[in-house]
Amino acid sequence: MNLSSADTAPNLAPVITIDGPTASGKGTIAQRVADHLGWHALDSGALYRLTALAVQRSGANLDDESQAAALARQLDVRFESGAVLFQAEDVTHAIRQESIGNLASQVAAWPTVRAALLARQRDFRLAPGLVADGRDMGTVVFPDAPLKIFLDAAVDVRAQRRYKQLNDKGISANLDDLLSDLRDRDARDRGRVHAPLVAAHDAVTIDSSHLGVDQVVQQVLALWSARGPA
């Protein structure tokens, strides 16, 4: 693997990026890898979901990009031991709703919203290291990350996983609707002009369709160890 500028810049903490489509398991894997290494974790999707929540609550027109970008710039958010606080209110569960995920995917297509969230994401790069998950972590936000993962899984497997997750939480869901929502979001996230979901040229792709969480975590950790000391 080629050494990137991050390897030689002593003041920059290392970053492992994990990008991939909706419900590929990125969030779970990123948190587990971060816990194992004792590093920080960034769930960048939460920032887009929070922006969507702010737009929804403000009553702004859902087509108003400049209003959404203003809300993204002012986002009053804190991440505290697994909870997401928005204006001091615990919105950890509220931002996980499918409707907010869909709205997040819409606001995330706007370049001024993405620009508004860029510096905030980079601020998470703190010692001893960061595991960041999203869509453009390896391509745009941390292009110099020394290890980039693209975590994929077949769309029907992802729909099944999401269905089970919702059922486990006692939330009723329809598998066909979930499948169709995932397809729409995949198409929007992959097809947008700004920072589309795509594997970075130097990313390692892991297809988790037939792998459990532990197996994927082990693969990522093995890739990190195989890099050797920075």
Contacts with ligand DC by CB under 6 A lie at: 22, 44-45, 48-49, 101, 104-105, 108, 134-136, 185, 189
Rg (CA), the chain: 17
If the CB atoms of residues 6 and 113 are measured against ligand DC, the closer one turns out to be 113
If the CB atoms of residues 105 and 208 are measured against ligand DC, the closer one turns out to be 105
Token digits of residue 194: 């700004």
CA dist list (Å): 121 to 48, 81, 114, 163: 11, 18, 10, 29
If the CB atoms of residues 7 and 202 are measured against ligand DC, the closer one turns out to be 202
If the CB atoms of residues 48 and 224 are measured against ligand DC, the closer one turns out to be 48
The angle at the Cα of 208, spanning 204 to 210, to the nearest 5 degrees, equals 140
Report in angstroms how near the CB of residue 228 gets to ligand DC at its nearest.
28
Token digits of residue 185: 């979001």
If the CB atoms of residues 8 and 205 are measured against ligand DC, the closer one turns out to be 205
Choose among 189, 182, 186: nearest CA to 161: 182
Pairing of strands 40-43, 204-207: unpaired
Taking phi over 0 as left and psi of -120 to 50 as alpha, with beta for the rest, 81 belongs to left
For 50-76, the DSSP string reads: HHHHHHHHHT--TT-HHHHHHHHHH--
If the CB atoms of residues 7 and 75 are measured against ligand DC, the closer one turns out to be 75
Report in angstroms how near the CB of residue 163 gets to ligand DC at its nearest.
15
Report in angstroms how near the CB of residue 95 gets to ligand DC at its nearest.
8
